[in-house]
Structure 1
């Protein structure tokens, strides 16, 4: 049970200003039920969410790798758990998921280095940007940067308001934990 000043809003208290969003993505997850405390922000968030989550040039697997690394770097248990679950649905092995906490090889390592550069240096170096563009395409580089920013903002909200992991994801993590125990840790 959270003692947050902004816990996820339940259906009975859902803001009228965003009534039409309750049946979609906004009503489905605690992160957006928490954001519903600011209906105007949630409405503005929706189009960017559509692009970053659904229409990214990274594609679903690369997007999840970016998000896993960002969740690890932020130390966000909510994002980590939710994206472990989403990565599994996409067929990623637990070993590959866990590797995003370290420094994997190949393209996964390139993605991890890019996320790290954004956290550590607040930019991609020209050499790293060129390597990413050659491997993924330039639009995917933009989407990688946007994904890190998007999930960083979500992480700030989640951790500020101690948003609880959604019940189904928490149950999955309890029933099928990763081989490596413990919450994500920031570097």
Structure 2
């Protein structure tokens, strides 16, 4: 049970209703996360304006970003984030074997050097306080350009925020029976 009441999927506030409609227009059911953040409509607007470009407009590989998000969720213990992004990771080409091996990514043969550089970034950013110079250098050595390094670091950092908010508010998973 969420620590704050979840807003209805069809809120009365026209500005909030428009944001929920915007999410649905992307083919996504309004997640419980947004139904909690929506108590502060300006914050939900900022969240959407940051989260969706990270997901859809980044030049770095979606597959790599989903691996990064899953490792961050695993480190932070964010079950909601883990469940949502497992589906997205599989759709982006991450294998179930890789997902199963994430906890032991450093020694797993299922991850190549580029993936391990991304997973190191996820690990360091999530554990905090920041990615090391060595982690950033490892990304450079694996061929990531400056824009991709920014995208990956922002994604890792954003999902630390996501996990902290989810856990602080105890946002529950959506009811699968509701579709």
If the TM-score is normalised by the length of the shorter chain, which range does it land in? 0.7 to 0.9
Q: Which residues in structure 2 correspond to 1:3-152 (within 5 Å)?
A: 4-25=2-23, 28-103=30-105, 104=108, 105-106=111-112, 107-135=114-142, 136-152=144-160
TM-score (normalizing by structure 1) = 0.80
**Secondary structure of the residue that 1:56 maps to in structure 2?**
coil
Aligned residues: 169
**Structure 2: gaps spanning 5 or more residues:** none
Over aligned residues, Cα RMSD in angstroms? 2.3
Q: Write the deviation string for residues 76-110 of structure 1: whole angstroms up to 9, x where unpaired.
A: 00000011111122232211112222224422222
Between 145-154 and 117-126, report the one with greater CA deviation. Answer: 117-126
Distance change >3 Å, CA 156–CA 13, structure 1 → 2:
same
TM-score (normalizing by structure 2) = 0.83
